[in-house]
Chain A
Amino acid sequence: MPANKSTKTAGPERVDSSESLLARMEELKEAQKKFASYTQEEVDHIFQAAAIAANKMRIPLAKQAVQETGMGVVEDKVIKNHYASEYIYNAYKNTKTCGVVEEDREMGIRKIAEPIGVIAAVIPTTNPTSTAIFKTLLALKTRNAIIISPHPRAKNCTIAAAKVVLDAAVKAGAPEGIIGWIDVPSIDLTTQVMRDADIILATGGPGMVHSAYSSGKPAIGVGAGNTPVIVDETADVRMAVSSIIHSKTFDNGMICASEQSVIVAAPVYSAVRDEFEKRGCYFLKGDELDKVRRTILINGALNARIVGQTAVRIAELAGVAVPDTTKILIGEVESVDPEEEFAHEKLSPVLAMYKASDFDDALAKAERLVEDGGYGHTSCLYCNVGIAQEKMAKHAAVMKTCRILINTPSSHGGIGDLYNFRLAPSLTLGCGSWGGNSVSENVGVRQLLNIKTVAERRENMLWFRTPEKVYFKKGCLKVALAEVGGVLGKKKVFVVTDEFLYKNGYTKVVTDELDRMGITHTTFYRVEPDPTLACAKEGAREMKSFEPDCIIAVGGGSAMDAAKIMWVLYEHEDVDFLDMAMRFMDIRKRVYAFPKMGEKAYFIAVPTSSGTGSEVTPFAVITDEATGVKYPLADYELLPKMAVIDADLMMNQPKGLTAASGIDALTHALEAYASVMATDYTDGLALKAMKNIFQYLPRAYEAGAQDPVAREKMADASTMAGMAFANAFLGVCHSMAHKLGAFHHLPHGIANALLITEIMRFNADESPRKMGTFSQYQYPHTLERYAECARFCGIVGKDDEDTLEQFIQAIEELKAAVGIKKTIADYGVDEQYFLDTLDEMVEQAFDDQCTGSNPVYPLMSQMKEMYRKAYYGK
């Protein structure tokens, strides 16, 4: 047993004024401060001792409650007190409520439970002692202090219950004064206590609950019910009727979940009626109905004199003679309108009974009754669960109640753990927003804790994705194609290319080999630069009639991109390009789920230029010729299954293409290396690609087919850079190049070439306006990263800044060596038109998919400035 850690703080003798309440609140706060440091073990010991003490006092407290309030049944109140102590203890005895309650080291997350402080507990007159036991036990388990605001009608018994729990808790080591109460309750003191507490736990009339919510403090307030019960024709009538009687007579009908109306299916109506009569209920006849109506309600409000009285007593008040063993007064009524007195909550053993023509009629009646004063509370259905599943589902869908009980007495059922053992035991039943409450479940310890979440920084999981096979080396095409017929066993191949390549025999190498293997094939050769949706649709139509099991794209970025889109349309006819092109922040968290690819055809990409890397990337761009909208698609589903890098197909690239696509590949490598998503896996590929380009691009440009080694090194560089950016993504240079190309018809490689060095300076800023957001990206380090690239390419300055300068110089020289002009203006872009479209271009570039992985998150004004510099060269 833990030592009593408390020392007595002098509190007031009685709380009967604003000043004495203030003093008590101070005392509670002090006590709670001490309590907050208790361990789980100490708390659990106190919780148990208090529960035992309350349990022992269940009979005296029940007697006192009935005596003081003049309502309810002693024997039933004994059950409630017993329940509040034993069931609440049992439900939470092993629950962690102190300190670390949950931990996942791998994911770096830890949850810590903390007390809230001082709870203001509003206690109702209908369940005074049990609710006081319930709330004080919850407070002890959660290391909170609690101040009870009793209803004046039940103040003595409520205080007595709280005192039993307090005394036992203190004896078990809890700080003295951890539980308090208002001795002389008044509205002013109740208002004050709600204002000064840290949280309000209000059970009671709608007025009190509204006041709790409008107090300005966090409140858990739960309200009234008007429980309708449907007895379906499939129900077990004896079980249903006895359950209803059992529940409705419990504590003379004062449980808020208690049945108020029974709606009986016509086929079993007389059986139900007979059973009620047989078990001692009284059906009101003739003018007796009106007499009871006038007695239970006064101007639409519940007559205080009938609450919690016996059926016999209520009959007497109404002037109706009934047998003195009568358990419930039943009014057979028709209207579910609030004008009907029997349709209200009655807090007494008075019940309305309706006949329903069918199940839908029963549901409609129940729905209306819930609407009238029972929103969010409890509803009930008796049926044969074996055959009435559909009715149960319908009932559950229609009822706006937070507890929907099946074949269960609702008073006992609603409070949980008596007729269903997964419904949490509670004497405070949340009614959700329908009932104007903040909680919809049965209130327990969870609502009385603050849970702190400690989240450690973790790195985002990454992967490396690339086609399952990448063939390379000069002349590898035939070897790769042999696999199509052999290992892969493909029968029908659809070749996609452009007219130039087709007419110049580039695809003949492929088709000859297919012919040799006896594979059927057809060729679509109408792909044009910047391929259109119309072109892709045309190709897809041809695919649909040809039904290939393999697609081979032969060409540059356009042919490969067009083929990818045809592939998508061939496999999934009804895709929406707007959805597929939706921007994402993280490709693995994107909203749109890209359709599964490869179920109809295997995709092989054979590049004929060294630049785009499309053969190994999950990207494709397509233009809607009707609207001019470009759809940049990105998803690993678009990744080719096989890439074939055969320099033989690239030998005769024209000089301009060699230069532009070579510089494009360089920007791929540079941006992938600077990306916030760069990894060791992509870095190696990017570095080697850059080095190849510096070394071999001028040779490939000058000598072309005469220097097959340079061609092959450039082919490898392009594909390696492709692999790097397929996984690390790109940056602002590509964002801006995409739009510059689109607005001013510059080849993609040239657009990148004009911007890259400007962007490198921008990214190398050690103190950027905003850095990129990615878990792994810890601080701006791009200067250092560019310097690494430079040194790998053999450029070494005296420090990082100097190295970057020399690196930029080298890139400018490389560009010049391959005939690339210096500025956008040099390419004949009209100055006025450029300036007129600049803002729009900036906004679109900012929103480009590539912007998100840039190490510096750009402001639009900064992008505008870079465009201007790239235009004028200064």
Chain B
Amino acid sequence: MILKNLIAEGTAADVYEQDGKAIKVFHHPHSKTKALREALTHARVEELEFNFSVPDILSIDIFDGKWAIVMELVEGETLEELMERNPEKTEQYLKQMAQIQNEINHIQVPLFHEYRNRLRRQVTELASLDDITKYDLLSYLDSVKRHVKLCHGSLEPKNIMISGNQVYVLNWVNATRGNASADAANTFVLLALHSSQENADQYIRYFCAESGISKRNVQSWIPIVAAARLTLGIPEERELLTRWIQVMDLD
């Protein structure tokens, strides 16, 4: 079968629309593990109860020798699109996202992969980082209390879709268990990179007010999630992320 209606492109997979379904097709033919793991994580998220919706996985399939996940197609506008269209409502959208993040973080998910392990691996493998900075980042990471809260891992406006009066949270590929403050710090970094520094700063305030978590706690994760983000090697992000890593744990 040939898929024609391409609706989104990504580094690892593209998404097509077909017969009212969204089909995520992985580029690489050897993406079996990747596809099944993502499907498993997503399926686990589907089983959880939220005030928002999560699109259903309908099947796992192979198209033209490539692994694919067939999902419910959700149509609507993302928060990113809405923020662009209604800049005066930015505050409302950011607050809504903070509520969603807080709701996500309130669920305990001991069976998910650990966020910390992923961050640790990313920091360790980051070739562009000197040993001294790695030492400081890892000693912080090792010292933080371990939580088992659900972390979205990529929560940002483009992954929240409003469809009629339904709110959908999309793209759970990076969902893990870990610390809410780390998940929020990650969103802060994504906002600063993809939206604006001002929106990122506002978002931390809204999130802290919503969750009761201290700003200092969220900020303490920024160097680590920034280092982890650096592993993607996106050139235009490099300068800002590098600056954010150069901090010192007080002696």
* A residues adjacent to B (C-beta < 8 A): 124-127, 151-153, 185-187, 190-191, 203-211, 214, 224, 254, 256, 298-305, 307, 338-339, 345, 347, 373
Report chain A residues within 8 Å CB of B219.
299-301
Give residues 125-184 of B contacting A (CB, 8 Å).
Answer: 131-132, 134-136, 138-144
Report chain A residues within 8 Å CB of B246.
298, 303-305
Report chain B residues within 8 Å CB of A302.
247-248, 250
CB–CB B250/A299 < 8 A: no
Q: Is B215 an interface residue (CB 8 A)?
A: yes
CA distance A592 to B161 in the complex (A): 71
CB–CB A347/B251 < 8 A: yes
Closest to A255 in B: B251
CB–CB A304/B248 < 8 A: yes
Report chain B residues within 8 Å CB of A205.
136, 139-140, 248-251
Give residues 211-251 of B contacting A (CB, 8 Å).
Answer: 215-216, 219-220, 222-223, 243-244, 246-251
Sort A-B residue pairs by CB-CB distance and give the 4 closest, nearest first.
A205-B249, A210-B143, A300-B219, A301-B247
CA distance A153 to B246 in the complex (A): 13
Give me 14 A-to-B residue pairs in the complex whose CB atoms sit less than 8 angstroms apart, sorted by A's number: A152-B132, A187-B134, A187-B142, A191-B142, A205-B139, A209-B143, A224-B251, A256-B250, A298-B246, A299-B223, A300-B216, A300-B219, A300-B220, A301-B247
Closest to A305 in B: B246
Band of interface residues on B:
20 to 34
Give residues 45-80 of B contacting A (CB, 8 Å).
Answer: none
Report chain A residues within 8 Å CB of B223.
299, 301
- A298-B243, A299-B222, A301-B222 known; A207 and B251 CB under 8 Å? no
- Whole-angstrom distance from the CB of A69 to the nearest CB of chain B? 10
CB–CB A214/B143 < 8 A: yes
Residue in contact with A126 in the complex, picked from B139, B143, B220, B251, CB distance below 8 Å: B251
CB–CB B220/A301 < 8 A: yes
* Residue among B134, B141, B248 having the largest count of chain A Cβ atoms under 10 Å: B248
- Whole-angstrom distance from the CB of B60 to the nearest CB of chain A? 38
CA distance A339 to B139 in the complex (A): 25
- A185-B135, A298-B244 known; A208 and B249 CB under 8 Å? yes
CA distance A210 to B140 in the complex (A): 9
Closest to A306 in B: B248
Interface of B is mostly: helix
Report chain A residues within 8 Å CB of B215.
300, 338-339
Interface of A is mostly: loop
CA distance A296 to B220 in the complex (A): 15
CA distance A206 to B134 in the complex (A): 16
CA distance A555 to B244 in the complex (A): 92
Closest to B123 in A: A187
Report chain A residues within 8 Å CB of B141.
207
- A152-B135, A153-B132, A187-B138 known; A207 and B143 CB under 8 Å? yes
CB–CB B135/A186 < 8 A: yes
CA distance A126 to B250 in the complex (A): 9
- Whole-angstrom distance from the CB of A135 to the nearest CB of chain B? 15
CA distance A224 to B249 in the complex (A): 9
Residue in contact with A151 in the complex, picked from B135, B143, B220, B247, CB distance below 8 Å: B135
Residue in contact with A303 in the complex, picked from B132, B143, B247, CB distance below 8 Å: B247
Residue in contact with A338 in the complex, picked from B132, B134, B216, CB distance below 8 Å: B216
Q: Can you list, as one digit per residue, whether each of B4-23 has a CB less than 8 Å from chain A (1) or not (0)?
A: 00000000000000000000
Report chain B residues within 8 Å CB of A224.
250-251
- Whole-angstrom distance from the CB of B120 to the nearest CB of chain A? 9
CB–CB A304/B250 < 8 A: no
- A151-B135, A190-B139 known; A301 and B248 CB under 8 Å? yes
Report chain B residues within 8 Å CB of A338.
215-216
CB–CB A304/B138 < 8 A: no
CA distance A124 to B140 in the complex (A): 14
Closest to A346 in B: B250
CB–CB B247/A298 < 8 A: yes
Report chain B residues within 8 Å CB of A299.
219, 222-223, 244, 247
Report chain A residues within 8 Å CB of B251.
124-127, 203-205, 224, 254, 256, 347
Closest to B140 in A: A207
Report chain B residues within 8 Å CB of A210.
143-144
Report chain A residues within 8 Å CB of B216.
300, 338
CA distance A585 to B250 in the complex (A): 52
Apart from A206-B249, A298-B247, 13 more pairs, CB < 8 Å: A124-B251, A151-B135, A187-B134, A205-B136, A205-B140, A205-B248, A207-B142, A208-B143, A208-B249, A299-B219, A299-B222, A299-B223, A304-B246
Closest to B249 in A: A205
CB–CB A347/B143 < 8 A: no
CB–CB B143/A206 < 8 A: yes
- Whole-angstrom distance from the CB of B111 to the nearest CB of chain A? 24
Report chain B residues within 8 Å CB of A339.
215
CA distance A305 to B243 in the complex (A): 10
- Whole-angstrom distance from the CB of B156 to the nearest CB of chain A? 18
Report chain B residues within 8 Å CB of A190.
139
CA distance A776 to B247 in the complex (A): 66
Report chain B residues within 8 Å CB of A153.
132, 135
CA distance A298 to B215 in the complex (A): 13
Q: Can you list, as one digit per residue, whether each of B112-127 has a CB less than 8 Å from chain A (1) or not (0)?
A: 0000000000000000
CB–CB B250/A373 < 8 A: yes
CB–CB B142/A211 < 8 A: yes
Report chain B residues within 8 Å CB of A204.
249, 251
- Whole-angstrom distance from the CB of A65 to the nearest CB of chain B? 13
Give residues 198-219 of B contacting A (CB, 8 Å).
Answer: 215-216, 219
- Whole-angstrom distance from the CB of B165 to the nearest CB of chain A? 36
CA distance A187 to B132 in the complex (A): 10
- A300-B215, A338-B215, A338-B216 known; A207 and B248 CB under 8 Å? no
- Whole-angstrom distance from the CB of A221 to the nearest CB of chain B? 10
CA distance A126 to B249 in the complex (A): 11
CA distance A153 to B139 in the complex (A): 14
CA distance A302 to B244 in the complex (A): 10
CA distance A124 to B144 in the complex (A): 19
Report chain B residues within 8 Å CB of A152.
131-132, 135
- Whole-angstrom distance from the CB of A624 to the nearest CB of chain B? 52
CB–CB B247/A304 < 8 A: yes
- A299-B219, A299-B222, A301-B223 known; A211 and B139 CB under 8 Å? yes
CB–CB B250/A211 < 8 A: no
CA distance A152 to B220 in the complex (A): 21
- Whole-angstrom distance from the CB of A485 to the nearest CB of chain B? 80
CA distance A346 to B223 in the complex (A): 18
CB–CB B139/A207 < 8 A: yes
CA distance A303 to B245 in the complex (A): 9
Report chain A residues within 8 Å CB of B220.
300-301
CA distance A305 to B249 in the complex (A): 12
Report chain A residues within 8 Å CB of B140.
205, 207
CB–CB A345/B139 < 8 A: no
Closest to B223 in A: A301
CA distance A266 to B248 in the complex (A): 35
Report chain A residues within 8 Å CB of B139.
187, 190, 205, 207-208, 211
Report chain A residues within 8 Å CB of B144.
210
* Residue among A126, A187, A204, A339 having the largest count of chain B Cβ atoms under 10 Å: A187
Closest to A186 in B: B135
Closest to A254 in B: B251
CA distance A345 to B143 in the complex (A): 20
- Whole-angstrom distance from the CB of A159 to the nearest CB of chain B? 15
Closest to B192 in A: A299
CB–CB B248/A347 < 8 A: yes
CB–CB B135/A206 < 8 A: no
Report chain A residues within 8 Å CB of B143.
206-211, 214
CA distance A302 to B222 in the complex (A): 12
CA distance A151 to B131 in the complex (A): 10
CA distance A301 to B251 in the complex (A): 13
CA distance A305 to B140 in the complex (A): 18
CA distance A432 to B96 in the complex (A): 41
CB–CB B249/A307 < 8 A: no
CA distance A205 to B223 in the complex (A): 15
